[in-house]
Amino acid sequence: MSLSRGVLRRIPPPILDVAIALAVLVAHTTPFLVTSRVADPVEGWTLSQYLPVLGQALPLIWRRRAPVPVLVVVLLATAVYGLRADTAPQPVAYAVLAAIYTVAATGSRRERAWAATILLGGIGLQITGLVLKEPGADTITRGLVMYGTAWAIGRSTANRQAYARQLEREKELEAQRAAVRERAAIARDMHDILGHAISLMIVQAESGPLIVRSEPERAEAAFDAIASAGRGAMTQVRRLLGLLKDDPAGGVPLIEQIPALVEGVDRAGTRATIEISGVPRTLPPEAEATAYRVVQEALTNTVKHAGATMVTVRLDWRKDTLLIHVADDGRGQSEGTDGGHGLKGIRERAMACGGIASFGPGPGDRGFSVSVRLPLVAS
């Protein structure tokens, strides 16, 4: 059934309408070919008897463009055909059924109201004729059932098509929302990657001129750190943009890369340590990327804003939770600073993974701390 619907959808509507009109014409012509005229079986059927058949079938070519006028013409042609008592019998009014279906399936609310009024008027005339014994009650009942069925099928088709259009619109809206979410995620990643790398590079660059003559070895290490931070940022940006298609990590930062982050901050001049407790467990990919970005952003804020001499990163693996805690001994931060924008990103990342984030003073009310709780299973 679905295959046949798909084939019909691929046929241009004008061609399909011509095909339906021809099929109805064949159906209404068949009685003239398989039956003989009772009044004059030798001479056979006349052209005047057959002409109403053309009036029934041919208007269906324009059924989509003018559904109500086509219905009126088909009904009139059918009525004219029925006035001839000696014409070929037509067991089923195919043309009327096609016209009714078209109005119900494609007509506007106003067109359907007009069509319903016309049909009810025709039914009233038939009932009046029933009082006069013409046509019979069985004929009227059969017509009512067929016409009602054609109308119901047409409305069902219209509802199905409307539902399909609604699903298509919802799919388009969801695609737009997904694109917005993707752009926001890329923006957050770019902020985290470049913010972290540039902060380390600035710190090293500012200290380089002060030590280049007095401590050439430290100056060389500073320039190495700048180059390393730049290369790391470029690698992550390429992964983020999908340029490294053969990257086995798929461009997603891993928790096992967090110690390298801490080491980079330590090389930049801020003493940085990492403490890991518990047994490492498997995290969903989104949560693993979030854990990396949380530590990266917290370290970036420490380097840029805190003026700290020391920062500690703790990863505490619990039974069903990973606790991330980053604390420094600097002057602290507030949501109104640029660090606050980064903190907002940390909170959004944590919530997206079913986790929570909190911020506040470090140990002994000194410095600043970032705490994030991430579930070990997808929520």
pLDDT, tens only, 11-68:
888 899 999 999 999 999 998 888 876 555 656 788 888 899 999 999 999 999 999 9
Model confidence over 116-143: pLDDT tens digits? 998 888 777 666 654 444 555 666 777 7
Mean pLDDT, rounded, for 179-192: 72
pLDDT at 182 over 60: yes
Percentage of the chain beyond pLDDT 70 is 72
Question: What is the structure's pLDDT at 266?
Answer: 83
Structure-model confidence comparison of residues 61 and 348, the more confident one? 61
Q: Is the backbone peptide bond immediately before 135 cis, with ω within 30 degrees of 0? A: yes
Which of the four pLDDT bands, split at 50, 70 and 90, describes residue 344? confident
Q: Tell me what the pLDDT averaged over the chain comes to.
A: 79
Structure-model confidence comparison of residues 47 and 233, the more confident one? 47
Question: What is the structure's pLDDT at 101?
Answer: 94
Using CA atoms, how far apart are residues 204 and 200, in angstroms rounded to an integer?
Answer: 6
Task: Find how far residue 122's CA is from the centre of its chain.
Answer: 46
Task: Find how far residue 303's CA is from the centre of its chain.
Answer: 41
Return the closest-CA partner of residue 325 out of 287, 373, 283, 367: 373
Close Cβ partners of 39 (under 8 Å, ≥ 6 residues apart): 86
For each of the domains in the chain, give its residue range(s) and CATH number, in order of start: 2-135 (no CATH), 174-375 (3.30.565.10)
Percentage of the chain beyond pLDDT 90 is 26
HSE (side-chain half, CA atoms, 13 Å) at 88: 24
pLDDT at 243 over 60: no
Close Cβ partners of 78 (under 8 Å, ≥ 6 residues apart): 52, 56, 93, 95, 96
Task: Find how far residue 58's CA is from the centre of its chain.
Answer: 42
Winning range, highest mean pLDDT, from 1-15, 234-248, 308-322: 308-322
Using CA atoms, how far apart are residues 45 and 377, in angstroms rounded to an integer?
Answer: 81
**CB of 245 closer than 8 Å to CB of 286:** no
pLDDT at 378 over 50: yes
Mean pLDDT, rounded, for 201-212: 63
Which of the four pLDDT bands, split at 50, 70 and 90, describes residue 204? low
Using the structure block, give the residue that is written with the tokens 């995620």: 185
**DSSP class of 58:** G
R_g over Cα of the chain: 39
Please state the pTM of the whole predicted model. Answer: 0.53
Mean pLDDT, rounded, for 346-354: 86
Alpha helices (H) along the chain: 2-10, 13-34, 47-57, 67-83, 94-106, 109-131, 137-211, 216-240, 258-267, 285-301, 338-352
Mean pLDDT, rounded, for 96-107: 93
Structure-model confidence comparison of residues 245 and 273, the more confident one? 273
**DSSP class of 61:** G
Q: Which two tokens stand for residue 132?
A: 């006069």
Which of the four pLDDT bands, split at 50, 70 and 90, describes residue 176? confident
pLDDT at 160 over 50: yes
Using CA atoms, how far apart are residues 127 and 119, in angstroms rounded to an integer?
Answer: 12
pLDDT at 353 over 70: yes
Which of the four pLDDT bands, split at 50, 70 and 90, describes residue 357? very high
Structure-model confidence comparison of residues 310 and 207, the more confident one? 310
